[in-house]
Copies of this chain bind each other. A is one copy, B any other.
Amino acid sequence: MSALTLGAAINAGLTRAMADDERVLLMGEDIGKLGGVFRVTDGLQARFGPQRVIDTPLAEAGIVGTAVGLALRGYRPVVEIQFDGFVYPAFDQIVCQVAKLHYRSNGRIRMPLVIRIPWAGGVGAAEHHSESPEAYFVHTPGLRVVAASTPQDAYVMLRQAVASDDPVVFLEPKRLYHSKGEVDPDADLADAPPLHLARVAREGTDATIVTYGALVGTALDAALAVEDEGLSLEVIDLRSLSPMDLTTVAASVRKTGRVVVAHEAARQAGVGAEIVASITERCFHHLEAPPERVTGHDIPYPPSKLEKHHVPDLDRILYGVDKVLDRTGEREVVL
């Protein structure tokens, strides 16, 4: 075990995946000599050479589209989209090709592609550098979508994503790139929790917070914050957004009867809507209060000086918790 940042854990995961399977290739803008703008691929070109760590022309459709061709030739490309907001030029290739080729070919073609996306906000960045596009992918049959929230998960899930014969959109909470945690580099994938399972990050009995990515930490903070008040919150790190581990979620909600769903993305038709709808369908008779969504507003990502009024934080999650517990107005807000 060693303490690694989430970024370094992904680097370690990529290194391991490339060492294990020479058909694994990395593609992206500035991922070679520079090691990526977040240094996630640092040192990989030096180690594996420019034939396997490929600095591509500046064109996202081109990156994903050529990765499709490489996959058809038997490679397992891991492509990096430089920032979340730059994935849209590749949207057609992702939605119409990556997601559909297996189906189109009656299963004869496999698309073992990983699309890595430094993801979401809270880092004071310029426009288009703080987007949360996950709902678009979650709504697209044929894709798997995952989001790691700890270095250990990042390391293991990256390797699992590379090993998967399905295309995986791999969301990397960029706000956590520098957050550290223990990583077991020798973890056997066979022993690790499967990619599609959620993780109960904290057990509790009074209400459930379902979230993913950087907000998992915030949810855990919320659980800690209300401990004194005698409240016990369960926190679920969804990990996989498609498929969603609704079994774990439903079990928790059946226990607590109350649920807050949190994400940074805009609310309308976001992933939170799916979670709330699914919970309502599955746990209707166990729900003691309407599920509460704590999300980004239905606005374009605002200028960074104002992002704290968009991205849910501890206070907004607590406010959501108060709502499902019918205690709004009771809390003393200390800033």
Contacts and interface: CB of A to CB of B under 8 A. Distances in A.
Interface of A: 61, 85, 88-89, 91-92, 95-96, 99-100, 103-104, 127-128, 135-136, 138-142, 242, 244, 265-266, 268-274, 276-278, 280-282, 284, 287, 289-293, 297-300
A268 B281 CA distance: 13
A280 B289 contact: no
17 contacts: A89-B92, A104-B300, A135-B135, A135-B269, A136-B136, A138-B268, A139-B265, A269-B269, A269-B271, A272-B277, A273-B273, A273-B278, A276-B276, A277-B280, A280-B280, A280-B291, A281-B292
A272 B100 CA distance: 22
A268 B276 contact: no
A119 to B, nearest CB: 15
A290 B284 contact: yes
Given A269-B135, A273-B273, A284-B289, A85 B91 contact: no
A12 B135 CA distance: 36
A96 B128 contact: yes
A292 B92 CA distance: 31
A141 B298 contact: yes
A212 to B, nearest CB: 13
Contacts of A104: 127, 300
Contact of A273 (B88, B265, B274, B290): B274
Given A266-B139, A289-B284, A291-B281, A96 B85 contact: yes
A178 to B, nearest CB: 27
Contacts of A244: 268
A189 to B, nearest CB: 26
Contact of A139 (B61, B270, B278): B270
Contacts of A287: 284
A140 B269 CA distance: 9
Nearest to A101: B300
Contacts of A103: 299-300
Nearest to A96: B88
Nearest to A283: B290
A127 B106 CA distance: 13
Contacts of A282: 290
A139 B269 contact: yes
What are the 8 tightest A-B residue pairs by CB atom distance, in nearest-first order?
A: A88-B92, A284-B290, A276-B277, A91-B91, A273-B273, A139-B269, A273-B277, A273-B274
Most buried by B among A92, A135, A273, A281: A273
A270 B268 contact: no
A290 B300 contact: no
A70 B141 CA distance: 35
Nearest to A95: B88
A85 to B, nearest CB: 7
